[in-house]
Structure 1
Amino acid sequence: MPEAGHSLNSLERDLLAHVASSSQGAFHLAWRITFDRKVDPSNLQIALNRIRDQHETLRTARSLLNGVSVIDSAKMSDVHMDWLACEPPERVLRALLKHTLDIERGECIRALSWSSENSTTLLVVVHHIAIDGRSAANLMSSLVSQLHHLESGDPSVKAGTVMSADASFIEDQDDVEWWVSHLKSKLNGDLPHIPLRGGLESESVNSSLTDSLRLIEASSRKTAHEAVPEIAPFITAWAIMLGRLVGRETVVVGLPFVSGADSSDEVRFGVSMLPLAINVALDRTVADVISDVTNLIEHGLEHRQASVGSIVNSMSLDQTFDRTPLDGVFTINQIPSISGATISWEPIGSSPFQASLLLSNQGEDQSISLEIEIGMLKGEAIESLSERLSVLIDATIDSVGEGLGTRIRDLPMFSVNQMNSLAAFESGGESNLDAQSISHRFLDIVSTHGDEIAVISDDKNFSYRTIEKWSAAVAESLLHAGTQIGDRVAVFAGRGVESIVSFLGAARIGAVYVPVDADAPEVKICQQLRAAGVDHAIEIDSIAPELRSHISRIIKIPAADTPVADPISLENRLSRVNIDSGLYVMFTSGTTGDSKAVLIHHGGVLRLTHEQWFMQTGGPPRMLNSAPLAFDASTIEIWCPLLSGGLVSCWKRPGSDLMGIADRIARDNLNSAWLTAALFQTAVDGAPQVFSGLDVILTGGDVVSAEHVRRIQAKFPNLIVVNGYGPTENSVLTSCEVIVPGSLKDMDWVSIGRPVRGTSVQLLDENNHRVGIGASGQIVASGMGVGLGYLGNDSSGGFFHQNGMRFYRTGDMARWLPDGRLEFLGRLDGQLKIGGKRIEIGSVESAIR
């Protein structure tokens, strides 16, 4: 070890502290020098040694324990340089870029070189503790000059610019206090906490903006007469994008300020990354933000003798940070143009900062590069974010000199092509409904399929005409009981024809049916009746005395052959029913353990039953009704067949009786069924005969196993599997994936597909901004399927209105795939699915307590 020298300055202390907690190579700087000729490796080695010997900062040992000491060049071996005969694979380059430099022993530089037919490439890596990026560019220029000198045959050493290792940086406490005051005024005392990511999420990716030169030239022209620094529009746009990525109105952007000495013969370590707090709230004008950035640059130059570590320590004595509290950084590299060689910055693949925007130029070659941690992208491709950033920078440059001008909320965050793609992805298409209501549609079907079998229940067949007459009798009984449009009518029964005619009867007079889960505890049923505001009930199964006291009017279901005495009254009432009328109430779990009553309208179901493109059965669906009536999958099982001339076969035994279900499907010649994801996978494993004869099996309610889909389609090559996704609040289905045999190939997961007709889906961040293609966002549904809201005392929850449309925030996360399908990513909250039903962890915890 070298002998101890002087102590570290504050910048060096900051860096060493962060090096210890950062990923390998995070503080390395790398440059690629491409010579337009073959270069003798021995000359490269000599040039590297001379550069290292000449600049004591490159042979200086630094440690928190021993401080700083310069090592005598005579005691050092050659700079480590690997020589290869040809260009190495990417993994070799990555290994060199990240290979640890032992700065405690003064190893601050290493290199790799290779040649092609007419050129030689030298990759040089230096540690940021030794020099900053600005000085590194000068160092590369000096190295090229050394090589030219050697190749000319002159044995002398040209010193050029010297980089010293002395402690030239002297911190000014007044400058530190100025930065502290600035941050406190903008951040209310709270510095951003930057996550310390691990694994793949900590790796950095980079991309150059394709129209960099045009943007740089545009900024130069626009700022020339506005007393605005050329970099101000870039910093402003970068801050706005960072605000979107981190979900905050005020972001902290690191900007390098030269703090040490800078003379013709000496450059010392002295560029400090100082924190600019920038408010990018949506209601601010772009011009105002550019003005703020301009002022911060001017004042930053006046108060540049400060280090970010001292600023943070002075501001937050009681806080600890895993990383420097900068949301992102903006840096500039001025690379001199040298004859015979091209010098370019080389991305490392890891960085001390989670996001960096680099503006660099070498003569006429100018570029803007984006480097960002994979975890910060949240799934979006770096190329997509680069494209979006280009659009944002362009619009920001246009705002220079506008005066009041454009507000941030009105800036484009996507290119035209990206917006066109998102518009296509988000829309499920129009659902051109051909009926005024479920009841109107059913009567149309009766007129054309009257004598055909509509329902099989208890081994009995019921025709469409029989179902219509029976449901009319139920409707008249409800009218006689005083049931009004919108009244909630509880139906106490399990699966069977009686329930179906009760649903039809209630819907026919504009009432809202409420299926009651008879297996639920009575306390739960009472809570649900209160939440739904139930005043009426149809008694099919016996209603317990404890429940009867909660219902004002109870009617017994009339016999199937009961005639209708006053059909005109029924017709008059039906004429007042439309697609916006309430149809049914289903219950979902609430965070308190109480059920939430969701009101669904006729239009929400009609959008699924009209032109049933996901039910590719080759004819009207003949479908098994095995889902509990209080589970919204039963909506598909009942209404898809009945509103298209198909057949419903009511399964009254347990839904887990797969062998019995297989027999029923075969007996009734059914072509479609719905199974929850768990039951689907159980059937594939233990009762594959369930799927024999089916054209379509719908599944969902939880994550569907791709392996199980492949296995069952291999056994039944004509079977179509439909993976349906959707919360109860959006009328059963929001999106679905129609999986034809062979389409999954080697995929490990099943997409939830595309939005269904009559539904639009947006993926939004926590501030309700669209996310980029590939990035994770919350599924927000709109369109005909969104329910009418929660009943009772529940708040609007995820429902909201905007521009005359209903929306629902699902709490589910997903991302857009490049082809416009959705990949489900899980929940935002503590909900989970068991047997297709939503369960709140809070409910379980409450019950345990």
Structure 2
Amino acid sequence: MTGHRAGAFPNAALVGERRELRASSVVELIGRWAETAPDAVALECGSTRTTFRQLWRRSMSLAAGLRDMNVQPGEVIGIIAHRNAESVAAMIAVMAVRAAYAPIDPTNPLGRVRLILDQLRPRVMVWDGTGSAACAAGLPTLNTSDVPDLPADASAPVTCGARHDDLAYVVFTSGSTGLPKGVLVEHRSLVNYIGWAATHVLPNAGGAACPVFASMSFDLALTTLWVPLAQGRTIVMIEDSWDYPSLFSPRTRPYDFIKATPSHFRLFERMLRPEYRSVVKRLMIGGEPLEPALLRQMGGRLDDVEVVNHYGPTEATIGCCAFRSTVRDLPDLPTVPIGSPAWNTAAYVVDDRGGPVGEGGHGELLISGFGVARGYLGGGGRFFDEPAFGGRAYPTGDIVEVLPEGMLLHLGRKDGQLKVSGHRFEPAELRRHALSLPLIVDAAFDVIRGGVLDAVEVFVVFDDQSAQTPPTEREVRVQLASLLPKELVPRRVYVVPEIKVDANGKRDVRATRQLAEARAGETGFLHLFREIEP
């Protein structure tokens, strides 16, 4: 395969620009701004503003508290991550003592939180004293509200400084084993991503800020959190993730960028039809395939707003490819291209036999380079080390086409993995939870797209030999809601006699849906439970 700017990664389909990293960690980058622009605003939380000096000193106060608890380099520390300055300071503090933070979303059901903590087994949990302490699951905690600020006349303590190969954070994705799996991301990967992403979303002239409205345990929020702060910009914490009117409220100066999924923008269009051009300079859209029709629907409200289609699995550190355009310059393709690779990143496209795919062909996308995560918590998974691919590499499971313009076009998934509103999940994980419910002996999941929001639907098979009464739709949804993020709780539950399989023995959701519809035709009604809030 002929390399495109092959550099140090020969034989790759596409290779990103080779760059030296600007720092050893995001902590170092933020610390520089605390020294050079201490009075610049780092965070806005409602009417409260926190400067870089204040954020840094608070982080160092919490770092001292962590050292008092004997937190060691390489430890993973759980943080109950609210969208506020205290949680951000806690994350910086954990990384400053060379430990790694694992953000725990306090809005997730306790069942899911416990599944994650059972794998993490953190010795210490950090929280700010607000909300319920149940998220700490009885583990030892550092309550940051009990940690005093450094005296005004005291110098900030010197930290040992994180290194490139230190672990920065652990975030969880859906696992094919039926359990969430933690992805281990090092500082080298995060610093590389920050520098590359900033070139796409932070205009040279400088905007006012960047909003953070997604869950702090989600890749989407990591971009909006660390990229601006590392560049000395302001982040605006939107307390309620569903407070979209606040997200698009009039501003004296527009945001640098807003990052959201296509599902978010479909919802924005339905609810608000925002005047994007008056609110933001650039949109970063990722997590799902981006259809040109969605952007054209926004029409003139996107005039002078640049769009960045952002692609990358969590295992490639938030994002590893991007394509920039305006709504007027979109190529005539079914989806917007995912573009070319990030700095120090190579993209390989291989066929079913592992052979190279050239221009115009399609195959599975493999990613190697600085952005590839260390691996999964507990090991395992699809990561591998291979000199032919430049070292550590990750097969994404995504099928792409190599375009003549030196870009990649996303065509779909190789496996059955699904995405809902930017949240990726494995059907095996959902099925595991469904089978834990009374009398359900089989289940299959599907995602319905095209509405305001993507919707998960489930087909269930009940044990017809049991004398017990099957659970109601409400009971199914309530119990699944205790284990899953709200985006993954099925909106509809269909009862079928069996889950159909295809000629290869694989679960066939389309045929199962046809079975449900055929039974509805025979009986005059479709045996389905419609959406009821748990």
* Distance in structure 1 (CA, Å) of the matches to 2:120 and 2:429: 20
Post-superposition shift, 1:537?
1.1
Higher RCO (CA 8 Å, separation ≥ 6 residues): 2
| CA pair 722-713 structure 1, distance change in 2 beyond 3 A | farther
Partner of 2:210: 623
Match of 1:632 in 2: 219
Q: 1:763 aligns with which of 349, 372, 382?
A: 349
| 1:587 matched to 2:175 | no
Aligned pair in 2 of structure 1 residues 713, 616: CA closer, same or farther (>3 Å)? farther
Letter of the structure 2 residue corresponding to residue 759 of structure 1: T
Query: 1:75-90 to 2 correspondence within 5 Å?
Result: none
Note the 1:206-355 alignment, pairs <5 A.
none
**CA contact under 8 A between 1:469 and 1:563: conserved in structure 2?**
no
Aligned match of 1:806 in 388, 392, 406?
A: 392
Aligned equivalent of 2:427: 841
Aligned match for 2:371, one of 753, 774, 785? 785
> Whose helix proportion is higher, 1 or 2?
1
Inter-CA distance 472–545: structure 2 relative to 1 (3 Å threshold): closer
Deviation per residue, 1:803-830 (Å, 9 max, x gap): 3721111111111111111111111111
Please state whether the residue corresponding to 2:280 is helix, strand or coil.
coil
Aligned pairs for 1:376-387 within 5 A: none
Match of 2:240 in 1: 653
Q: Which runs of 5+ in 2 are unaligned?
A: 436-534
545 and 715 in structure 1: CA distance in 2 versus 1, 3 angstrom threshold: closer
User: Which deviations, in whole Å up to 9, do the C-alpha atoms of 1:89-115 show, x marking residues without a partner?
Assistant: xxxxxxxxxxxxxxxxxxxxxxxxxxx
Residue 723 of structure 1 aligns to a residue whose secondary structure is strand
Deviation, 1:504, is 0.8
Moved more, 583-592 or 765-774: 765-774
Partner of 2:125: 537
Instruction: Give the CA deviation at 1:458.
Output: 2.8
Partner of 1:351: none
* TM-score normalised by structure 1 residue count: 0.48
Q: Which residue of 2 aligns with 1:489?
A: 77
Q: Distance in 1 between matches of 2:45 and 2:155?
A: 27
Shift in CA distance, 581/702, structure 1 to aligned 2, threshold 3 Å: same
* Aligned partner of 2:88 among 472, 484, 500: 500
What is aligned with 2:281? 695
Verify the 8 A CA contact 1:473 1:558 in the aligned structure 2.
no
- Separation in structure 2 between the aligned mates of residue 505 and residue 600 of structure 1, nearest angstrom: 17
Q: Is the 8 A contact 1:533 1:791 kept in 2?
A: no
The answer to whether the 8 Å contact 2:309/2:322 transfers is yes
The AA in structure 2 aligned to 1:539 is W
Kept in 2, the 8 Å contact 1:425–1:821? The answer is no
Q: What's the counterpart of residue 774 of structure 1? A: 360
Task: Indicate the larger mover: 755-764 or 418-427.
Answer: 418-427
**Residue pair 2:351, 2:364 contacting (<8 A) in 1 also:** yes
Give 1:801's aligned amino acid: D
Instruction: Give the secondary-structure state (helix, strand or coil) at the position aligned to 2:274.
Output: helix
Q: Is the 8 A contact 2:4 2:15 kept in 1?
A: no
Separation in 2, partners of 1:631, 1:571: 30
Deviations 1:298-336 (A, max 9, x none): xxxxxxxxxxxxxxxxxxxxxxxxxxxxxxxxxxxxxxx
Shift of 1:710: 2.5
After TM superposition, give the deviation of residue 431 of structure 1 in Å: 2.7
Residues 3, 12 of structure 2: 8 Å contact kept: no
TM-score (normalizing by structure 2) = 0.75
Offset at residue 608 of structure 1 (A): 2.4
What is residue 450 of structure 1 aligned with on the other side?
A: 38
Contact 2:43–2:49 (CA<8 Å) still a contact in 1?
A: yes
Query: How far apart are the structure 2 equivalents of 1:609 and 1:507?
Result: 16
Q: How does 1:8-23 map to 2 (within 5 A)?
A: none
Residue 16 of structure 2, aligned match among 407, 428, 433: 428
Aligned residues: CA RMSD: 2.7
- Contact kept, 8 Å, 2:286 with 2:422, in 1: the verdict is yes
Describe the superposition over 1:333-383 as per-residue Cα deviations: whole angstroms up to 9, x where unpaired. xxxxxxxxxxxxxxxxxxxxxxxxxxxxxxxxxxxxxxxxxxxxxxxxxxx
Secondary structure of 1:571's counterpart equals: coil
Query: Aligned partners of 2:215 and 2:359: how far apart in 1?
Result: 37
1:608-649 CA-partner distances (Å, limit 9, x unpaired): 222522115233452001111010111110111111111100
Whichever residue aligns with residue 218 of structure 2, its letter is F
Pick aligned residue for 1:752 from 338, 343, 354: 338
Which residue among 675, 681, 687 is the counterpart of 2:266? 681
2:312 counterpart residue number:
726
In structure 2, the CA distance between the partners of 1:416 and 1:790, relative to structure 1 (3 Å rule), is closer
1:610 aligned counterpart, secondary structure: helix
SS of residue in 1 equivalent to 2:384: strand
Partners of 1:419 and 1:675 in 2: CA distance: 32
Pick closer, same or farther for the CA change 1:806–1:419 going to 2, 3 Å: closer
Point out 4+ residue stretches in structure 1 off by more than 6 angstroms: 415-422, 564-568
Of 528, 532, 542, which aligns to 2:116?
A: 528
Q: Equivalent of 1:609, from 190, 194, 197? A: 194
Per-residue Cα deviation, 1:411-435 (whole angstroms, up to 9, x for no partner): xxx5799999995751111132111
Q: Is the 8 A contact 2:213 2:221 kept in 1?
A: yes
Question: Matched residue of 2:160: which SS?
Answer: helix
SS at 1:683 equivalent: helix
CA distance in 2, matches of 1:617, 1:418: 25
1:591, 1:848 → 2: CA distance? 15
Match of 1:742 among 328, 332, 342: 328
1:720 is displaced (CA, Å) by: 0.6
Q: Would the aligned equivalents of 1:773 and 1:818 in 2 still touch at CA under 8 Å?
A: yes
Determine the C-alpha separation between the residues in 1 that align with 2:406 and 2:101. Answer: 36
Q: What CA deviation, in whole Å up to 9, does each residue of 1:649-708 have, x standing for no partner? A: 0001133x3222111x62674231111110112223442325233110111111112012
Offset at residue 485 of structure 1 (A): 0.6
**Which residue type is aligned with residue 431 of structure 2?**
E
Q: Distance in 1 between matches of 2:314 and 2:81?
A: 21
Cα gap change, 1:669 to 1:744, in 2 (>3 Å): closer
Sort the Cα spacing of 1:487 and 1:466 in 2 relative to 1 into closer, same or farther, 3 A: same
Asked whether the equivalents of residues 713 and 719 of structure 1 are also in contact (C-alpha less than 8 Å), the reply is no
- Could you tell me how far 1:509 is from its partner in structure 2? 0.9
**Partners of 2:4 and 2:224 in 1: CA distance:** 40
Asked if the contact 2:367–2:395 (Cα under 8 Å) also holds between the matched residues in 1, the reply is yes
Mark the runs of 5 or more structure 1 residues left unpaired by the alignment.
1-413
| Residue aligned with 2:57, SS | helix
Corresponding residue SS for 2:329: coil
Residues 520-551 of structure 1 show CA distances to partners (whole Å, capped at 9, x for unaligned) of 22222122112223211112155756654552
In the TM superposition, residue 552 of structure 1 has moved relative to its aligned partner by 3.9
* CA distance in structure 1 between the aligned counterparts of 2:226 and 2:82, rounded to whole angstroms: 16
Contact 1:427 1:759 in 2 (8 A): yes
Alignment coverage as a number of residue pairs? 429
Letter in 2 for 1:702: E
For residues 113-168 of structure 1, what are the alpha-carbon distances to aligned partners after superposition, in whole Å with 9 as ceiling and x for unaligned? xxxxxxxxxxxxxxxxxxxxxxxxxxxxxxxxxxxxxxxxxxxxxxxxxxxxxxxx
Structure-1 separation of matches of 2:3 and 2:204: 40
Residue 732 of structure 1 deviates from its aligned partner by: 0.4
After superposition, where does 1:342-421 map in structure 2 within 5 Å?
none
Q: Identity rate of aligned residues, in percent?
A: 24
